Copies of this chain bind each other. A is one copy, B any other.
Amino acid sequence: MRATIMHAPGDVRVEDRDKPTIQKPTDAVIKLAAACVCGSDLWPYRGADKISRPVPMGHEYVGVVEEVGADVKNVTPGQFVVGSFIASDNTCEICRSGYQSGCVHRQGVSGSQAEYLRVPLADGTLVATPGIPDADKVPSLLAASDVLGTGWFAAKAAQVGPGKTVAVVGDGAVGLLGVLAARQMGAERIIAMSRHTDRQALAREFGATDIVVERGDAGVKKIKELTGGLGAHSVLEAVGTQESMLQAIHATRAGGHVGFVGVSHDVSLPGRDLFSSHVHLHGGPAPVRQYLPDLIDLILRGDINPGKVFDLELPLEQAAEAYKAMDERRAIKVLLRP
């Protein structure tokens, strides 16, 4: 099969690889209907994460079950499924508390920018749609697999709800879908922080009521001005840098909530800032599995259209161009067709 491999920063190639097979009785193999490039894939692409050997890329996926291991009972070949980027048993105490991404048996899923993918712990990880979805729903279902689920978790972690003022730090796909999530959860006011007009437009379409173009301390000052000097009730952080984390913490009012989902890079939070800010801080890898059934319903009912974050679509063979377009910010998120 054809698969996307990263050999070094900036060096992404589509190559022939063995088609994955069932390795454990709890595995499934799925034929991918669509794949995509994640903002977090840009960390190694830009050299911020080390690559010691060629890495099969991709952790977002939707597709049709091709084969299942002997112990798999919840999904069967022929079903269309959506899964999370972290495989989980969905039965342990941590999963049952809603933190499937912290499952005691968790495993990362990787290699989905390809034709086929092996998914471990298939019973706990995959959620089947009712029937094969229409083609126009596939991008949104793919978004549910990570960026939507992650933006949703950021909003949940930030305790978004009716009557609240929400600020979103980061205008990548996750940040934009954090805006969509905040809207769905009834936020009164949603401030998107973005300096890119195309992303500002999508943020508004997803429900942003205000746009702040300033960043860092100037961005914090602006949020304070918009909130009577107090700061937002809920701030979603979807970048993962020191600047974005401090921006999020400082833009939150005393007693407010920060939901952070940007994969942390060189972040070191001063205890005094946390102590004096009085914010609630919660985040990490999103427990997407928890939200999948509800997100799939919202998508199939047509209530939300998160697939709009895909502003470029390419054949799998052009994966290198997909990375380039996202790295150069020519595209928000690229969908790949195997």
A interface residues (Cβ-Cβ under 8 A, vs B) = 93-94, 97-99, 101-102, 104, 228-230, 240, 242, 245, 253-255, 260, 263-272, 274-285
Q: For A241, give the chain B residue with the smallest CB separation.
A: B271
CB-nearest residue of chain B to A275: B264
List 26 contacting pairs A-B, 8 Å CB cutoff, sorted by A: A93-B228, A94-B253, A97-B255, A99-B255, A99-B278, A101-B278, A102-B253, A102-B278, A240-B271, A242-B271, A254-B284, A263-B275, A264-B275, A265-B271, A267-B272, A268-B269, A268-B270, A269-B271, A269-B274, A274-B283, A275-B285, A278-B284, A278-B285, A279-B282, A280-B281, A280-B282
Which residues of chain B come closer than 8 Å to A278, judged between CB atoms? 99, 101-102, 284-285
Is the contact region of chain A dominated by helix, strand, or loop, or is it mixed?
mixed
Total copies of the chain: 2
Contacting residues, chain B, for A276 (C-beta < 8 A): 284-285
- In the assembled complex, how far is the CB of residue A129 from the closest CB belonging to chain B, in whole angstroms? 27
Selected from B102, B267, B272, B274, the residue in CB contact (under 8 A) with A254 is B102
Is the beta-carbon distance between B255 and A98 smaller than 8 angstroms?
Answer: yes
Complexed CA–CA distance, A104 and B227 (Å) = 13
Nearest chain B residue, comparing its CB with the CB of A258? B281
Residue pair A94, B254 in contact (C-beta under 8 Å): yes
A268 to chain B, nearest CB (A): 5
Is A275 in contact with B281, judged by CB distance below 8 angstroms? no
When A and B form their complex, which 6 residue pairs have the shortest distance between CB atoms, in order from nearest?
A267-B271, A102-B254, A264-B271, A99-B255, A281-B281, A264-B275
Query: Residues of B contacting A272 with CB < 8 Å?
Result: 264, 267
Q: Is A94 within 8 A of B230, CB to CB?
A: yes
Q: How far is A247 from B255 in the complex, measured between Cα atoms in Å?
A: 24
Bound together, the chains give a CA A97 to CA B278 distance in angstroms of 12
17 further A-B pairs in the complex, CB-CB below 8 A; given A93-B228, A268-B270, A279-B282? A94-B253, A98-B255, A99-B278, A101-B254, A101-B278, A102-B278, A240-B271, A264-B274, A266-B271, A267-B274, A267-B275, A275-B283, A275-B285, A276-B285, A278-B284, A280-B280, A281-B281
CB-defined contacts of A281 to chain B, threshold 8 Å: 274, 280-282
Interface contact A275-B284, CB-CB below 8 Å: yes
- What is the chain B residue whose CB lies nearest that of A265? B271
Question: A281's closest neighbor in chain B, by CB?
Answer: B281
Bound CA–CA A97/B270 (angstroms): 25
A255 to B88 Cα, complex, angstroms: 15
Instruction: Given A277-B284, A282-B281, decide whether A267 and B270 contact each other with a Cβ distance below 8 A.
Output: yes
Contact, CB under 8 Å: A245 / B264: no
Q: How far is the CA of A97 from the CA of B256 in the complex (A)?
A: 10
In the complex, chain B residues whose CB is within 8 Å of the CB of A260: 274-275
**How far is the CB of A323 from the nearest CB of chain B, in Å?**
24
Check B104 against A230 for contact (C-beta < 8 Å): yes
Q: How far is the CB of A150 from chain B (nearest CB, A)?
A: 12
Who on chain B is nearest to A101 by CB? B278
Residues from chain B with Cβ under 8 Å of A279 in the complex: 282
The docked-state distance in angstroms from the alpha carbon of A269 to that of B263 is 15
* Distance between A225 CB and nearest chain B CB, rounded to angstroms: 15
Q: Which of A102, A266, A269, A275 has the most CB of B within 10 A?
A: A275
Residue of A101, A242, A282 with most partner-chain B CB within 10 A: A282
